[in-house]
Amino acid sequence: MKRTDVQGDLLRTGHSIFTHSRAIALRGILPLEYFMCNYRTIGKINPLKYHVLPFILLFVLLHPVVAFPLDKSGWQWIVPEKVHDMLKEGSALWLIDVRNEEAYKKEHIESSVNIPAVSLAFKKFSRGRILVIVDDSLGIKVAKEAADILVKNGYEKVYVLQEGIASWKTAGYSVADTGLSVKGVSANELKWALSNKVLLRIFDMRGQAEIENGKVSGSEPVSGKDIKERIENLKMLLKKEGGKDLSTKLKKPQTIVLIFSASDDIEKNMQEIMLDSKADVRYLIGGYETFAFDSNKHPKTGDSCPTCPAKGK
């Protein structure tokens, strides 16, 4: 086979794979063996024979996705690149940030409007508008629930920004903010994220003695004789893993959750870590004690709090 024939078949093969299989394969619905079978059977070229399979894989992975459906939900995911292009083109698009007003003021995508999820069901939109929901909760849980409400209310052009605000910033697009914003994660949010296999990285910033008394499943201890040394070690790790090689670019934005001791100055520590990192770094509100507290065994009464000191003390 001539070289030009190989190149032509390669382009047809890559395009066919992209248009028919990419969205499904990237979401893990089809096994890799089936995906490779498509490479071998579509078109006249055998990619393995001509050693071009790696290049086809790169083409498929790097080609921007417009949007792809989530099973039976009625709404679709959409990537930041597509949203950015649509905004530049002046499309009939509403970018709706469903977080609370305080979170929106601290940081939001320019051109977005703030309609908290609790009030979204009572809003009326033009049926011809494209509605893109923005959020930054773990697993984009709030945005997905908001999109479900809109679909239930009869709206058909409903999308959720894939990976939320973190993906927007990772793509290199600007946000309106008030500077460094320290974000916390509640124990219930973290438990939901872990049970739903949300992509997370959890680092335990406590000392070894505290970790031995209990830890969050899947968390990674950070070495160091004190909190200052552990912060420096974490910063070096994040800097090393935040390189700009190809493998890093292909990864989805990954939220990092830090677990501190109750005695730590969390605000100060978080700001120091965030100054040297572009990652989405958050901390566990209330620390491990709140996470370990079982609300089923200890039902909440009044204003009680498992980690708060008793009144009058």
pLDDT, tens digit, for every residue of 179-212? 778 899 999 999 999 999 998 999 999 999 999 9
Task: Please name the amino acid found at residue 221.
Answer: P
Q: Are residues 173 and 125 part of one domain?
A: yes
Q: Are residues 96 and 56 part of one domain?
A: no
By the 8 A CB rule, do 270 and 258 touch?
yes
Q: Are residues 82 and 27 part of one domain?
A: no
Q: How far apart are CA 172 and CA 54, in angstroms?
A: 26
- H or E element, residue 177: strand 176-177
Q: How far apart are CA 100 and CA 84, in angstroms?
A: 23
Q: What angle do CA 185, 101, 166 make, to 5 degrees?
A: 50
Residue 252: per-residue pLDDT: 62
Q: Are residues 271 and 191 part of one domain?
A: yes
Q: Are residues 192 and 169 part of one domain?
A: no
Would you say residue 30 lies in a domain? yes
The distance from CA 221 to its chain's CA centroid, rounded to whole angstroms, is 22
Would you say residue 311 lies in a domain? no
Residue 240: per-residue pLDDT: 83
Q: Are residues 191 and 153 part of one domain?
A: no
Taking the whole predicted model, whether its pTM rises above 0.75 is answered as: no
Classify 88 as helix, strand or coil: helix
Would you say residue 254 lies in a domain? yes
Q: Are residues 217 and 171 part of one domain?
A: no
**Among 134, 132, 125, CA closest to 154:** 125
Would you say residue 253 lies in a domain? yes
Place of tokens 């709030």: 142
Residue 247: per-residue pLDDT: 47
Q: Are residues 191 and 135 part of one domain?
A: no
Would you say residue 302 lies in a domain? no
Q: How many domains does the chain have?
A: 3
Q: Are residues 164 and 257 part of one domain?
A: no
Chain segment 216-232, per-residue pLDDT in tens: 999 999 999 999 999 99
Q: Are residues 87 and 14 part of one domain?
A: no
Place of tokens 């992509």: 199
CATH code: domain of residue 257: 3.40.250.10
Radius of gyration of the chain (CA): 23
Q: Are residues 161 and 82 part of one domain?
A: yes
**108 forms bridges with which residues in the sheet?**
176
**Among 230, 185, 191, CA closest to 207:** 230
* Domain housing 48: 3-62
Would you say residue 297 lies in a domain? no
**Among 69, 97, 238, CA closest to 168:** 97
Q: Are residues 196 and 214 part of one domain?
A: yes
265: number of Cβ within 10 Å:
11
Would you say residue 140 lies in a domain? yes
DSSP state of 198: -
Residue 128: per-residue pLDDT: 84
**Residue 7: left if φ>0, alpha if ψ -120 to 50, beta else—which one?**
alpha
Q: How far apart are CA 204 and CA 207, in angstroms?
A: 8
Q: What is the pLDDT along the chain (313 residues), one digit of tens a residue?
A: 444 454 455 444 444 444 344 333 333 333 333 333 443 334 444 544 445 455 545 544 444 444 545 445 689 999 999 999 999 998 889 999 999 999 999 999 999 999 999 999 899 998 889 999 999 999 999 999 999 999 999 999 999 999 999 899 888 898 998 777 889 999 999 999 999 999 899 999 999 999 999 999 999 999 999 999 999 999 999 888 766 544 444 456 679 999 999 889 999 999 999 887 778 899 999 999 999 986 555 554 444 454 444 444 4
